[in-house]
Amino acid sequence: MRQLALGLVAWLLLSPAALGQEVDSAARGAARSLGYEGIQAYQAGDFPTAVDRLERAYRVLRVPSLALWSARALEKSGKWVEASERYLQATRLPIEDTSEKNVQEQAQAEARAAEAELRPKIPLLVIELRGADSAGVTVTSNGVKVNPALLGTKLPTNPGDVLVVGEAPPRRVEARATALEGQTISLLLDFTPAPAAAATTAPPAATSAVQDSGAQAHSGKTQRLVGWILIGTGGAALIMGGVTGGMALGKQGQLDMACPTPTTCPAGTDLGGINTLRILSTTGLIAGGVLGAGGTALLLTAPKSKGVAVGARLGWASIELEGTF
């Protein structure tokens, strides 16, 4: 390789005849400088710079030696497809019958060997379409447009991440993969419309309404249960108040007969018992009325269930309820 590099430098310096009559001195000088810079960058491991300089030099001077060095820089940069094509170009360029003919022939031989070694390493990409006609879809691979006639065939691709995009407005489909050395990968661009989902569930609003109705029904049952408990407890309190009140009235009558005046009461007369009965009667009647009224209010304000009606009448020491169930 070093011998070929020195031969290329010597050719650039000493063989203006090989440049052809159509390349003027200014262009020849610029190409010579770019060729030097490209080879130096390649040998220093700066492959992006080498690609740039050698590519521009090759555009001016299409000779096998520059094509070979340009292909080598492209290969080192991971652009294997472009490198393979450039190697092939190097083998097909005509060679002038000059003193540097041997340098160009050697470049062609090395390019031929390098292309044969690189070719089996290049990954292959197969792009398939589904649900769309290739004539109506624009396909790109890593930003490069793919000819529709080549879809479904093995396309050489550079190693690394691959992004394939298919566009058939208004739809856009993407597929990704990683291309590895010597592998064949397939990517599918599926434009098949998604099947319409059957409406098997109730709309959210209807579902919420059903749930709310169920919650109200449950709440109404609880409220009615508490109401009945309060009414029952109030009724018991009213009964207790009525009974104790009657007992207090009876004892009071007996006391009035035995004690016309407070000073004439027989010894041992239990005046405190009458007062206790009066307190219990008053407490029972008040508590019974309050509890009964609270329970009735709960029943009347509970969410109604179909077929249920409740009415209530409050009376002295009593609660009368009417209802249909």
- pLDDT recorded at residue 66: 93
- pLDDT recorded at residue 321: 53
Measured distance CA(318)–CA(101) in Å, rounded: 130
Measured distance CA(178)–CA(187) in Å, rounded: 11
Residue 173 DSSP code: E
Here the tokens at position 69 are: 């060095």
Note whether 71 and 57 are within 8 A (CB).
no
Note whether 104 and 164 are within 8 A (CB).
no
- pLDDT recorded at residue 148: 93
Identify any residues that bridge with 126 across adjacent strands, giving them in sequence order: 154, 186
- pLDDT recorded at residue 210: 41
Here the tokens at position 237 are: 């309190």
- pLDDT recorded at residue 250: 72
The total number of residues shown for the chain amounts to: 325
Question: Domain spanning 124-190: which CATH class is it, in words?
Answer: mainly beta
Note whether 5 and 42 are within 8 A (CB).
no
Low-confidence ranges of the chain (pLDDT < 70): 1-23, 197-220, 248, 251-274, 277, 288, 298-299, 302, 304-325
Burial of residue 293 (number of CB atoms within 10 Å: 0-12, 13-18, 19+): middle
pLDDT digits (tens, 9 = 90+) for 214-269: 556 566 678 777 777 877 787 787 787 777 777 767 766 666 666 665 555 665 55
Residue 322 DSSP code: E
Q: Which CATH number does 2-120 carry?
A: 1.25.40
Measured distance CA(118)–CA(122) in Å, rounded: 7
Measured distance CA(79)–CA(82) in Å, rounded: 6
Measured distance CA(313)–CA(156) in Å, rounded: 95
Tell me how crowded residue 97 is: count the other CB atoms within 10 A of its CB: 8
Measured distance CA(154)–CA(125) in Å, rounded: 5
**Residue among 73, 112, 72, 105 at smallest CA distance from 89:** 112
Residue 221 DSSP code: H
Regarding pTM above 0.75, the answer is no
Tell me how crowded residue 234 is: count the other CB atoms within 10 A of its CB: 22
Measured distance CA(51)–CA(306) in Å, rounded: 87
Residue 21 DSSP code: T
- pLDDT recorded at residue 90: 96
Residues 6+ apart with CB under 8 A from 313: 319, 320, 321, 322
- pLDDT recorded at residue 15: 46
Alpha helix ranges (H) inside the chain: 2-14, 25-43, 47-60, 64-76, 80-92, 101-118, 204-258, 271-301
